[in-house]
Amino acid sequence: MAWRCSGRSNAELIQNLVKGGVITRPAVEQAMLAVDRQHYCRAGTTPYQDAPQPIGFNQTISAPHMHAMCLEGFAELLKPGMRVLDAGSGSGYLTACFYEMVGAGGAVRGIEYVKDLVPYSLENLHKDGYAEALRSGAIQIKHGDGSKGWEPGATFDVIHVGAAAPQVPKPLVDALAAPGVMIIPVGTDTQVLTEVAKSASGAVTVKELTGVRYVPFHMDGTEVYA
C-alpha cells in the first residue's frame, strides 16, 4: 500500500495520518502531536515524510504510519500509570510517545542493542523537552539485548519491539503482565507485524497483523517462544 500521509510539519503529518484513517484515537493523535519527529531524525533527512529515515549505524526510525499503527494497537493498555518496554528503542521517538500516553506516574523503559544510539536517543529526548522525565526515572534508556527483557522479574503492560526478530523471544512473552500486549515484527526475508496478547489468566494468543519490513532484531542465544 502506498502511504500518502507526509506533511511539511509535525502537525500536518499527524493531521494527514488522521485523515488517512491510520490514527483513530484522540490519545494517539495527542501523543504524536506532542512528540516532534524532527528531534529524532538526523540532519539532512526528511522527518515529516511518511517513510523510514536513517539514524546511523545501519538503523532507521520507522515510518510514522507504523508508529501510529503500533500506538493504536496498544491504546487500550496505554493508560496513565502503565509500564512500557520499548525493545530496540532506536532514536527514542516511540519511547517519548509512550511516555505521553502513560504519564509521569507510569514507567517507560527503552533498551537498545546499538550502544552508540543510547546517548543519541537521550540527547533527542532532552531536545524535545523530556529532561524532567529522564531525571525522575519515569523514562529510562540503557544499552542491552532487548530480546532478554529489561531485567529479571520485570514485567510490562505493553512491550514494543522496534526491529524484526526471527522468532518471538520467550523472555519477552514471560515479561508481559497479565493482561498485557506485545507488538513485534517477526521474520527474516518475509516479515509480519505480530501481536502477542496475554490474558488476565495468563493465556497467550498470537495474531499476525500485516506484512512489514524492519531492520533485524538482535537475539543471539535467546530462547524462542514455542
User: Which member of 9, 62, 89, 136 is catalytic?
Assistant: 62
Name the residue with cell 516532534.
36
DSSP assigned state of 204: E
- The continuous run of DSSP H or E covering 74 comes out as helix 64-74
> Has 147 been annotated as catalytic?
no
Q: Residues 9, 48: contact at Cβ < 8 Å?
A: yes
- Please name the residues in contact with 11: beta carbons below 8 A apart, sequence gap of 6 or more: 33
* Beta strand residue intervals within the chain, DSSP E: 53-56, 59-61, 83-87, 107-112, 139-143, 156-161, 176-187, 191-198, 204-212
CB atoms under 10 Å from CB of 126, counted, come to: 13
Q: Which residues are catalytic?
A: 62
